[in-house]
Amino acid sequence: MRQETTVHDGAAAEETGAGTTPDISFNHVGKRFFKKGKPFQALGDAHFDVQPGEFLSIVGPSGCGKSTLLNITAGLMKPSSGDVRYKGEPVTEVNTDVGYMTQADTLLPWRTVRQNIAVPLEIRHSPRAERGDRIDEMVEKVGLKEFGNHYPAELSGGMRKRVLLARTLIYQPETLLMDEPFGALDAQLKLVLQQELLRLWAEAGTTIMFVTHDLAEAVTLSDRVVVVSSRPGTMRTIKTIDIPRPRAVFDVRFNDRFRELQQELWAILQDDMMEGGEM
Ligand SMILES: Nc1ncnc2c1ncn2[C@@H]1O[C@H](COP(=O)(O)OP(=O)(O)OP(=O)(O)O)[C@@H](O)[C@H]1O
């Protein structure tokens, strides 16, 4: 198996199943913004696919356009050049087939944990009779059974992340976009939630596109890691993470291949980190 591929030769499809329609295809996607009236190129030329059921992470320096790429995939922003396809269809409006867990803590403070998790079911008008059971199942899955009737202000940061995760998953999205979901958590809690995410991902067969600053996190979780350079964010490489699954998130760090992959990714990223971005 090839360990590393350049991104401008359709390599993603070669790596993970040529012939199948990718869940997400980025076709030379660029994004220009205006700051103080002057245009600047935030995202250079994103060109890769995300395959059904794949766990793909994006790493790169701060400001290289990672969140922008997720926003474009969710249909919240239009690219300035190129196009994004979801299951072969161009994304032209808000893409309700994807769940999006943004960096922001968007829990509604006046609603309990259960009521927060219920929001997507209400928006989708799912039958009232089914809601209770689905919420029970979800609070159990994310380990919050005892806290269903608590308000967000009564929860720790990690618990709030779990509620946000539950609220995204109850939607049963085929594809999940996650923007540094565990960024601000302490190291131990991060491991716990990473393990839970891997379990939920394996159970549901969801496709995940995951943005992180944390190389160890990217290697632990992913099938492939896309490395993006500093502004304008351009794909440097796609690295296949050939570490067997299932992975125990703590133990995997002692695997020799884990260390090699982390070093290889750092070797690609470090110049960009020194130059422009910050981790
Ligand atoms: N709506 C917008 N209008 C103008 N500039 C924007 C907008 N959204 C993002 N930018 C700029 O585009 C660049 C890329 O932003 P983006 O949030 O995608 O980066 P990022 O890689 O996710 O950063 P971080 O890792 O710090 O979250 C930044 O310089 C940011 O200030």
**Chain centre to alpha carbon of residue 52:** 14
Q: Output DSSP code: residue 229.
A: P
Q: CA separation (Å) from 271 to 60, 65, 228, 267?
A: 11, 17, 12, 8
Which residue owns the Cα nearest ligand 1 atom 26?
62
The CB of 33 under 6 Å from ligand 1? The reply is yes
pLDDT at 184 over 50: yes
Which residue owns the Cα nearest ligand 1 atom 23?
63
The CB of 31 under 6 Å from ligand 1? The reply is no
Mind listing the pLDDT tens digit for each residue in 57-95? Answer: 999 988 889 999 999 999 999 999 999 999 999 999 999
Over residues 130-148, mean pLDDT: 90
Which residue owns the Cα nearest ligand 1 atom 6?
33
- Contact between 272 and 60 under an 8 Å Cβ cutoff? The reply is yes
Mind listing the pLDDT tens digit for each residue in 92-121? Answer: 999 988 999 988 889 999 999 999 999 989
Q: Which domains does the chain have, with CATH numbers?
A: 4-97+173-275 (3.40.50.300), 106-172 (no CATH)
- Give CA–CA dist 194/249, Å, rounded: 7
pLDDT band with cut points at 50, 70 and 90 for residue 188: confident
pLDDT at 127 over 50: yes
Query: Token pair of 25, please?
Result: 């295809």
The CB of 46 under 6 Å from ligand 1? The reply is no
- Give CA–CA dist 120/39, Å, rounded: 37
pLDDT value of position 124: 81
Q: Cis (ω within 30 of 0) for the bond into 246?
A: yes
pLDDT value of position 276: 55
pLDDT at 172 over 90: no
Q: Which of 21-30, 170-179, 218-227 has the lowest mean pLDDT?
A: 170-179
- Give CA–CA dist 177/84, Å, rounded: 14
- Contact between 74 and 100 under an 8 Å Cβ cutoff? The reply is yes
pLDDT band with cut points at 50, 70 and 90 for residue 187: confident
pLDDT value of position 2: 31
- Give CA–CA dist 222/242, Å, rounded: 9
pLDDT band with cut points at 50, 70 and 90 for residue 3: very low
- Give CA–CA dist 164/275, Å, rounded: 34
- Average pLDDT for the chain: 87
pLDDT at 15 over 80: no
Task: Please give the single-letter amino acid code of residue 118.
Answer: A
Q: Which residues of 139-149 are buried (b: 16+ CB within 10 A; e: fewer)?
A: bebbebeebbe
pLDDT value of position 275: 66
Query: 98 CA distance to ligand 1 centroid (A)?
Result: 21
- Contact between 55 and 208 under an 8 Å Cβ cutoff? The reply is yes
Mutate to test the pocket of ligand 1, among 32, 38, 64 (most ligand atoms within 8 A of CB): 64
The CB of 63 under 6 Å from ligand 1? The reply is yes
Query: E strands of 112-223, at which residues?
Result: 175-179, 207-211
pLDDT band with cut points at 50, 70 and 90 for residue 18: low
Which residue owns the Cα nearest ligand 1 atom 28?
63
Helix (H) or strand (E) holding 24: strand 24-35
Mutate to test the pocket of ligand 1, among 66, 103, 210 (most ligand atoms within 8 A of CB): 66
Report the DSSP pairing between strands 233-240 and 4-5: antiparallel
Query: Token pair of 257, please?
Result: 């291949």
- Contact between 228 and 273 under an 8 Å Cβ cutoff? The reply is no
pLDDT at 201 over 70: yes
Which residue owns the Cα nearest ligand 1 atom 31?
63
Q: Is the ipTM of this complex over 0.90?
A: yes
